[in-house]
Amino acid sequence: MKLFKFNGGVKPETNKDASTALPIATLPLPGRLTVPLHQSIGGTPRPLVRTGQRVLKGERIGAADGNVSAAIHAPTSGTIVALEPAVMPHPSGLSALCAIIAPDGEDAWAPVNPVDVRALSGGELRDYLRDAGVVGMGGAVFPSHLKLNPGRQGKVQTLVINGAECEPYITCDDMLMRERPDSIVRGTMLMAQVLGAERILVGIEDNKPEAIAAMEAASRGTPIRVLAVPTRYPAGGAKQLIRVLTGIEVPHGKRSTDFGVQCFNVGTACAVHEALDFGRPLISRIVTVAGNVSTPRNFEVLFGTPMAEVVRTALPRPDTNRYVMGGPMMGFPMPAYGVPVVKATNCILVASDHLFPPPPPEMPCIRCGECAKACPADLAPFELYWFARAHNYGKAQEYHLFDCIECGCCAYVCPSHIPLVDYYRYAKSEIWARERDKDAADQARTRFEFRNERQDREKREKAEKLAAKAAETKAKLAEEATGAPPADGDDPKKALIAAALERARQQKAAVEPKNTDDLPAAIQAEIGEIDARRQAAMPAEPPA
């Protein structure tokens, strides 16, 4: 099968041999698990537990909030000791809501419910994967149930499984393919069934011969085709791997599904198999611990485990001064040693100034163009740098800033040692912040306009009701005063006055003094004279 090439890319030292010398190990249960409720792209799951509640392993503790979200589950059995914010594995050092679990040591599973994939529709399988918390394990943590939607076409012609793992030091996918190829193959077939894919390609860099051999052996008798791709960073990028395997170049503003192709990580395929065939939600992953440690190795780690406890098992050296989540090209430093392992944690790179010395001082850009030659997305990184530095975010977007995959190739080859990716990340965050502010302002304006419209409508309705009631009252009073409905030409004011006088006369006639019954005749005669004088002093009645 013919392979294609992608533009750009670099060839850094891989440094992968040390962490593949030993098999995958399982960590002992930690004393505390800090499980963030938000571990994927999209909305934050809604808490389903309360403080003091006992949970079982695999029990759902956070429900997916909206379509772009995935559920969260308890990694082990124990007690929820707190629901509170904790520092996240992010360079910002910001906090997010977490469920703090004290393990009881029993590691008791909640009842699992495997599904019959042949009896369920594609939509039902996607809902099941959403509730099982399955997300992309390559680092993007995009909810997998959304990527398994074939869309308007009804099916995807080609399913690509990404086993390239091009980032230096990271070997979690390599070891997963070596030790659990059958699970990957089974998960791949399940995803192909949901998508309706007819062609299945597995791309693995040619510097992983053991993984290639294991996957080829497990794929015999299936339509899966395992292909060795040239080792070149970032061959593990989704668009780059699709280009190498199929020759399809996904342009700006398009998705691979528009061309009948969908790409998943090998870890995602394994998680799909575990969820559908065994009913086990996603509660752990393989994590590479490498760098400034005595025993680099891959571990299966429960989500919520403090990174310091994972690194402690690999025996860090005394001069360790920071942790990096990810590899040296795309990783970012952690704000603290005790931040938890999450679904996006594929590697904990233990760093020191000796192993990773501080970068040289940043120098002015000389417009040499080396960054443009190395960019696998065919962008103009030096132009993006100038626009980001000048806060000209509109022009940066015109130059397709969001097509940047932040692979770090441009910064790797820059002779001026400019941290270009940092500028791009900053520009993206500013644009996202402005978009959020604009959306909030638009929503506030919409609410304000709706409120004003509602108040105006209520005023109109109230005025119409008052006018109708007044007209009804006028007609009724006029009818009482004249004994007949008012004519069209009658003055309503005169009718009201006449009706009021008539009511007063009737009220006066109905009033009988109750304290004059037993008075002497002379006094009653005097009272009669007074009433006569009062009646004579009253004005004459107006004509009707």
Structure tokens at 199: 């062609």
pLDDT at residue 492, as a whole number: 61
**Does the structure show a pLDDT above 80 at 250?**
yes
Q: What is the mean pLDDT of residues 512-536?
A: 74
Whether residue 350 is predicted with pLDDT greater than 90 in this model: the reply is yes
Of 338-347, 374-383, 474-483, 514-523, the one with minimum mean pLDDT is 514-523
- What confidence tier does 486 reach under pLDDT thresholds 50, 70, 90? low
**Which residue is it, tokens 């040692």?**
417
Closest CA to 143 of 63, 39, 58: 39
pLDDT value at residue 487 = 54
Using CA atoms, how far apart are residues 544 and 484, in angstroms rounded to an integer?
13
> Residue holding tokens 């962490």?
19
Query: Please, which pLDDT band fits residue 540 given cuts at 50, 70 and 90?
Result: low
Mean pLDDT, range 390-407, rounded to an integer: 93
- How confident is the model over 253-287, as pLDDT tens digits? 888 888 999 999 999 999 999 999 999 999 999 99
For residue 510, is it left (φ>0), alpha (ψ between -120 and 50) or beta? Answer: alpha
**Percentage of the chain exceeding pLDDT 70:** 93
- Where is pLDDT greater, at 398 or 519? 398
What pLDDT is attached to residue 406? Answer: 92
Cα–Cα distance, 265 to 207 (Å, whole number): 18
* pLDDT at residue 151 is higher than 80: no
Please give the average per-residue pLDDT across 325-352, as a whole number. 94
Q: Is the Cβ–Cβ distance between 115 and 279 less than 8 Å?
A: yes
Q: Is the pLDDT of residue 431 over 60?
A: yes
Please report the DSSP string for 311-356 in residue order.
HHHT-B-TT--EEEES-TTT-EE-S-TTPBP-TT--EEEEE-TTTS
CB atoms within 10 A of CB 211: 28
* Mean of pLDDT values over 498-507: 76
Per DSSP, the three-state class of 103 is strand
CA–CA separation, 66 vs 70, rounded Å?
Answer: 9
* Domain residue ranges of the chain, discontinuous segments joined by +: 18-351, 370-429
Sign of CA dihedral 344, 146, 408, 422: negative
Q: Is the pLDDT of residue 292 over 50?
A: yes
Edge-to-edge strand order for the sheet containing 322-325? 25-26, 297-302, 284-291, 347-351, 322-325, 332-333
| Contact by Cβ (8 Å): 201, 263 | no
C-alpha neighbours within 13 Å on the C-beta side of residue 523: 6
What average pLDDT does the segment 445-455 reach?
94
* Band (514; pLDDT cuts 50, 70, 90): low
What's the pLDDT band for 489 if we cut at 50, 70, 90? very low
- Assign 167 to helix, strand or coil: coil
Mean pLDDT of 377-390: 94
CA distance 421 to 419: 6
**pLDDT at res. 513:** 61
Q: Which residue has the tokens 């506030």?
A: 444
Q: Identity (one letter) of the amino acid at 479?
A: E
Average pLDDT, the chain: 90
Using CA atoms, how far residue 400 sits from 248, 277, 333, 374, 428, in Å, is 19, 42, 26, 16, 11
pLDDT given at position 252 = 84
Residue 256 DSSP class: G
Q: How far apart are CA 319 and CA 317, in angstroms?
A: 6
Q: Over 60: is that where the pLDDT of 485 sits?
A: no
As a whole number of angstroms, the distance between CA 49 and CA 99 comes to: 8
Find the mean pLDDT for residues 304-317: 95
Two structure tokens written together for 531:
């009433």
Q: How many residues does the chain have?
A: 544
Residue 425 three-state SS:
helix
pTM of the model: 0.81
Q: What is the DSSP string of 180-246?
A: -HHHHHHHHHHHHHHHT-SEEEEEEETT-HHHHHHHHHHHTTSSEEEEEE---BTTTSHHHHHHHHH
CATH classification (class only), 18-351: alpha beta
Q: Provide the pLDDT for residue 114.
A: 87
Average pLDDT on 37-54 reads 92
Given a cut of 60, whether residue 307 has pLDDT beyond it is yes
Instruction: Please report which confidence band the pLDDT of residue 544 belongs to, taking 50, 70 and 90 as the band edges.
Output: very low
- What is the C-alpha separation between 284 and 267, in angstroms, rounded? 11
State both tokens at 79. Answer: 């007690």
Q: How far apart are CA 146 and CA 148, in angstroms?
A: 5
CB 162 within 8 A of CB 142: no
HEC-encoded secondary structure of 261-307:
EEEEEHHHHHHHHHHHHHCCCCCEEEEEEEECECCCEEEEEECCCEH
Q: Is the pLDDT of residue 516 over 70?
A: no
Whether the per-residue pLDDT at 158 is higher than 50: the answer is yes
pLDDT of residue 527: 79
How far, in Å, CA of 491 to CA of 115, rounded? 83
pLDDT, position 311? 96
Q: Do 109 and 283 contact (CB within 8 A), yes or no? A: no
Angle between helices 266-278 and 122-131 (to 10 degrees): 100
Q: Quick one: pLDDT at residue 542? A: 53
